[in-house]
Amino acid sequence: MTRLILASASIARATLLRSAGVSFEVLPAGIDEDAIKEGLQAEAARPRGIAAALAERKALQVSSARPDALVIGADQTLDFDGELLSKSAAMDAVRLQLLSLRGRSHTLATAAVMARDGVVVWRLVTDATLWMRDFSDSFLDDYIACEGDALLDLVGGYRLEGLGAQLFRRIDGDYFSVLGLPLIAVLSALRDYGGLRQ
C-alpha cells in the first residue's frame, strides 16, 4: 500500500483516521494560514473557497517534499452571514463569538485534498449548516469554564464531539465533516488511490 501522510496538526482529524484503522504519518504543512486567508479575502474569495485553497496548499506543500506518499490536506472554515469567522485569540473573544452565533445558523465548509508527486489527485468540499440554540448566559459561562483554553483551537469555539453538542438544536450535514474531515469520502478515495486495501 502507498505510504500515507496527514498534512495537518489537527488532533480531531488524526483521531478520526486512527479510529477508522488507517495507518498514517502526521506531517503538518507549516503554511502561514492567516496570510493565505488574508490574501484570498483581499481577492473576495468566499469562506468555502478559502477552505478548499488551504487544504490544497497543505497537501501540495507536503507532497512536494514527500513525493513517495499520498498526502491528505484538510481545512475548515465557518461562514456566518457571508463573514469568515476564525479561531479566537482570547477567551473573551470566544464568548463574544458564541454570543453572536447563539440562536442563529452558520455554515461549516470542510475541504479535503489528496496529492501525490506534487499533483492533486482528489478533492472534496462539503457543507454543513448548524443551528445554535438560544442557550442561557449561565449555560455559556459553565460551558466556557468546563472547556477552557481548548476553545481557542476551535473554529466557532465549539467541539461537537464534546459538551459543545449541547449548544445546538439542529445540524444538517455530515457529522464527520463537522468534526473536520469528510471521513467516509476520504476512506473511499484512499481505497481508490492505494492508501487502503480494497
The structural domains of the chain, with segments of one domain joined by +, span 3-192
Contact between residue 7 and residue 28 where contact means Cβ atoms under 8 Å apart: yes
- Report, as an integer, the average pLDDT of 34-57: 94
Reported in sequence order, the residue ranges of the chain that DSSP labels E, i.e. its strands, are: 3-6, 25-26, 69-80, 83-85, 105-116, 119-132, 168-172
CA atoms of 72 and 25, how far apart (whole Å): 10
CA atoms of 5 and 66, how far apart (whole Å): 9
- Write the pLDDT tens digit of every residue in 88-100: 889 999 999 999 9
In this structure, CATH architecture of domain 3-192: Alpha-Beta Complex (3.90)
Confidence of residue 153 (pLDDT cuts 50, 70, 90): confident
Whether residue 49 has pLDDT greater than 90: yes
Note if 75 is an active site residue: yes
Nearest to 139 by CA among 106, 164, 107: 164
- Write the pLDDT tens digit of every residue in 117-139: 999 999 999 999 999 999 999 99
Query: Residue 32 CA to chain centroid, in angstroms?
Result: 16
Q: In degrees, to the nearest 5, what angle opens at C-alpha 77 toward C-alphas 74 and 80?
A: 165
Confidence of residue 1 (pLDDT cuts 50, 70, 90): confident
Contact between residue 27 and residue 5 where contact means Cβ atoms under 8 Å apart: yes
> Residue 89: is it exposed, middle or buried by C-beta count within 10 angstroms (0-12/13-18/19+)?
exposed
Pull the grid cell for residue 21: 484503522
Whether residue 195 has pLDDT greater than 90: no
Looking at 34, 75, 81, 134, which residue is catalytic?
75
Confidence of residue 198 (pLDDT cuts 50, 70, 90): confident
Per-residue confidence (pLDDT) for residue 171, from 0 to 100: 97
Neighbour count for residue 36 (Cβ, 10 Å): 17
